[in-house]
């Protein structure tokens, strides 16, 4: 549990067990938000990969309307494009590091 939430519950004398289902959902959402830390490229990449799996799972539903499938295709394309950009940047960085390292060792 995040320290701020722990302090707030202690100050108010509230036990997690006594929270209503709605309050527990809010508490879990707040705790998750506070514990996530900074957004990183790796986190964005993981989110994109998860969304792609979800979309691909929805494609298995043969009862999807054409409109729904079109939207899924668009969403899939966006997430794949983001992943491609992330991967390309990482590969570019590796090539540059290798090139600069080779320059260091040749002179």
At residue 6 the predicted structure's pLDDT band, cuts being 50, 70 and 90, is confident
What pLDDT, on a 0 to 100 scale, did the predictor assign at position 107?
61
Q: What is the 3-state secondary structure (H, E, C) of 74-106?
A: HHHHHHHHHHHHHHHHHHHHHHHHHHHHHHHHH
**Would you give the distance in Å from CA 37 to the centre of its chain?**
12
Q: Which residue has the higher pLDDT, 74 or 16?
A: 74
| pLDDT digit string, tens, across residues 12-70 | 898 888 988 888 888 888 888 787 778 888 889 999 999 999 999 999 999 999 999 99
């Amino acid at each position: 549990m995040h320290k701020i939430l722990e302090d707030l519950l202690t100050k108010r004398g509230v036990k997690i067990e006594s929270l209503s289902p709605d309050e527990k959902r809010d508490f879990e959402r707040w705790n998750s938000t506070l514990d996530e830390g900074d957004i990183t490229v790796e986190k964005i990449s993981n989110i994109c990969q998860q969304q792609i799996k979800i979309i691909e799972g929805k494609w298995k539903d043969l009862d999807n309307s054409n409109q729904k499938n079109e939207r899924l295709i668009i969403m899939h394309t966006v997430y794949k494009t983001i992943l491609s950009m992330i991967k390309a940047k990482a590969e570019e960085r590796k090539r540059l590091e290798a090139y600069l390292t080779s320059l260091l060792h040749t002179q």
